[in-house]
Chain A
């Protein structure tokens, strides 16, 4: 089955991306994770996302377009990126999600990908 591993990061993690002292550790962890997924033969795609300050939310209500600054939900942890993996079952997906760098600080959500 194909699963999306959605990475919800804390504001501190987003800040580390551009912090001179923390940048190398932050990106190093994701690079290593991406390599591990590749070596494990499960990597099937994914992308990192710019921080929630860059988000724009669009809705159409009653035929008129509403464009708002910011992410759709104002929560402390925000979507920072996702990985797509190919795994035998949910337990295998959990085992990979548990290795994701954000897992000890933010939250990692697993969603099965729709089959069309």
Chain B
């Protein structure tokens, strides 16, 4: 990897956050930074990489920003701010100081309640992690142009409405942290869907989401839900290798070879969950992590305690009222041996989840177990029609062809 690329990867969000913090103009900071990276790619190979590449990029980008502000100064009274900014870079260069890390503030700005919830994750992926709009659009299955416009609108809102980059005060923390956790988890979920790594960008979303989770836990060691989220992501990540067999076929959780789970990640997740429990502030992510922890226990005991998992889903359902949680609960109920009750619970969700692949897949499985073969096959066909991952499609097709006796 080229040094400029490496610095870009490690420093992008840090530089955007710092450059945009006073003006709140994320788009201008990104443009200035892009110019600075282009300049770095032009000069570093011949003149060598500077001792402090981050500081170099910061100074170059800041100069671009100041030039751009001077152009605008004719109409807007920007001169004093420009002068202050110039002083700031001189000082930074004199001291050769590290760029303070304001990424967490940027993260809070991206997930601010004043920002459209539908664009928060994409905005975070772009501004904090440096993914370009095309890659984000591909992951979210949105037209690149539409994604680009949504991102532009959101950045304008941050700038024009004056969304601050401050880390919320303790009294505001509980209401502000939720959307940040949701946005990070959505980024993780985007990456997690693509377990075989056929599209690198997706996998990177998962790794970067975990990295953001770590940043958040370091910054807010008092927040039990931040720990819960990180524990949840680590538990899921620990099973990455086991989600495909040697031939690349999809392996559902209960069939996974536990020896292929990553013990270090599981241990880290368990430690976090234990620490979070000590804070006595239960929440959605801790419960989700606890469910994954219950699954992880199989690597020691050889069995899964489905009754305990149903109980955790009950608690989660009370907290979130989410139909997806109820669907997962129904799947766990089926594993305790009561397929009829599970099917009843599943059918009750047809209105909310009738267009959701996992709803059809569970329904098909339950019909199959209950000996209603032709209905099961029809339901599998509906599930396959709603799936995009070829490995999962193949898995569902095999289940549809094989019937309950051979698959379960």
Q: How many angstroms between the C-alpha atoms of A87 and B161 in the bound complex?
A: 11
Q: Are B77 and A115 in contact (CB under 8 A)?
A: yes
Q: Are B168 and A112 in contact (CB under 8 A)?
A: no
Q: Are A91 and B172 in contact (CB under 8 A)?
A: yes
* Binary flags per residue of A82-96, CB closer than 8 Å to B gives 1, else 0: 000001111111100
Q: Are A90 and B114 in contact (CB under 8 A)?
A: yes
B371 CB-CB contact with A under 8 Å: no
A44 CB-CB contact with B under 8 Å: no
Q: Which residues of B contact A112 (CB under 8 A)?
A: 160-162
Q: Are A93 and B77 in contact (CB under 8 A)?
A: no
Tell me the nearest residue of chain A to B114, going by C-beta: A90
Tell me the nearest residue of chain B to A89, going by C-beta: B164
Q: Are B77 and A91 in contact (CB under 8 A)?
A: no
B166 CB-CB contact with A under 8 Å: yes
A49 CB-CB contact with B under 8 Å: no
Q: How many angstroms between the C-alpha atoms of A3 and B168 in the bound complex?
A: 20
Q: Which of A89, A91, A112, A115 has the most CB of B within 10 A?
A: A91
B243 CB-CB contact with A under 8 Å: no
Q: Are A90 and B77 in contact (CB under 8 A)?
A: no
Tell me the nearest residue of chain A to B158, going by C-beta: A90
Q: Are A89 and B163 in contact (CB under 8 A)?
A: yes
B112 CB-CB contact with A under 8 Å: yes
Q: How many angstroms between the C-alpha atoms of A93 and B114 in the bound complex?
A: 12
With an 8 Å Cβ cutoff, the count of chain A residues facing the other chain is: 13
- Min C-beta distance of A24 to chain B, whole Å: 32
* Binary flags per residue of B151-166, CB closer than 8 Å to A gives 1, else 0: 0000000001111101
Q: How many angstroms between the C-alpha atoms of A115 and B163 in the bound complex?
A: 16
* Binary flags per residue of A80-116, CB closer than 8 Å to B gives 1, else 0: 0000000111111110000000000000001010010
Residues on A facing B (Cβ under 8 Å): 1, 3, 87-94, 110, 112, 115
Q: Which residues of A contact B164 (CB under 8 A)?
A: 88-92
Q: Which residues of B contact A94 (CB under 8 A)?
A: 114
User: Which 6 residue pairs of A and B lie closest in terms of their CB atoms, listed nearest first?
Assistant: A89-B164, A1-B162, A89-B162, A90-B162, A90-B163, A90-B161
Please list 6 pairs of residues, one from A and one from B, whose beta carbons are closer than 8 Å in the complex, sorted by A's number. Answer: A89-B162, A90-B112, A90-B114, A90-B161, A91-B168, A110-B161
A90-B112, A90-B161, A91-B164 known, 12 other contacts, Cβ within 8 Å: A87-B162, A88-B164, A89-B24, A89-B162, A89-B163, A90-B114, A91-B166, A92-B164, A93-B162, A112-B160, A112-B161, A115-B76
Tell me the nearest residue of chain B to A2, going by C-beta: B162
Tell me the nearest residue of chain A to B159, going by C-beta: A112
Q: Which residues of A contact B163 (CB under 8 A)?
A: 89-91
Q: How many angstroms between the C-alpha atoms of A94 and B164 in the bound complex?
A: 11
Q: Which residues of A contact B160 (CB under 8 A)?
A: 112
Q: Which of B76, B77, B164, B172 has the most CB of A within 10 A?
A: B164
Tell me the nearest residue of chain B to A94, going by C-beta: B114
Q: How many angstroms between the C-alpha atoms of A22 and B235 in the bound complex?
A: 58
Q: Which residues of B contact A87 (CB under 8 A)?
A: 162
Q: Which residues of B contact A90 (CB under 8 A)?
A: 112, 114, 161-164
Q: How many angstroms between the C-alpha atoms of A94 and B175 in the bound complex?
A: 13
B63-115, CB < 8 A from A:
76-77, 112, 114
Q: How many angstroms between the C-alpha atoms of A88 and B76 in the bound complex?
A: 18
Q: Which residues of A contact B162 (CB under 8 A)?
A: 1, 3, 87, 89-90, 93, 112
- Min C-beta distance of A81 to chain B, whole Å: 21
Q: Which of A3, A90, A92 has the most CB of B within 10 A?
A: A90
Q: How many angstroms between the C-alpha atoms of A93 and B160 in the bound complex?
A: 13
Tell me the nearest residue of chain A to B172, going by C-beta: A91
Q: How many angstroms between the C-alpha atoms of A112 and B161 in the bound complex?
A: 6
Q: How many angstroms between the C-alpha atoms of A110 and B114 in the bound complex?
A: 10
Q: Which of B76, B161, B162 has the most CB of A within 10 A?
A: B162
Q: How many angstroms between the C-alpha atoms of A3 and B161 in the bound complex?
A: 9
Q: Which residues of B contact A93 (CB under 8 A)?
A: 162
Q: Which residues of A contact B168 (CB under 8 A)?
A: 91
- Min C-beta distance of A1 to chain B, whole Å: 4
Q: How many angstroms between the C-alpha atoms of A47 and B172 in the bound complex?
A: 30
Q: How many angstroms between the C-alpha atoms of A112 and B163 in the bound complex?
A: 11
- Min C-beta distance of B105 to chain A, whole Å: 11
Q: How many angstroms between the C-alpha atoms of A1 and B160 in the bound complex?
A: 10
Q: Which of A88, A89, A93 has the most CB of B within 10 A?
A: A89
Tell me the nearest residue of chain A to B165, going by C-beta: A89
- Min C-beta distance of B178 to chain A, whole Å: 16
- Min C-beta distance of B265 to chain A, whole Å: 36
Q: How many angstroms between the C-alpha atoms of A86 and B168 in the bound complex?
A: 20
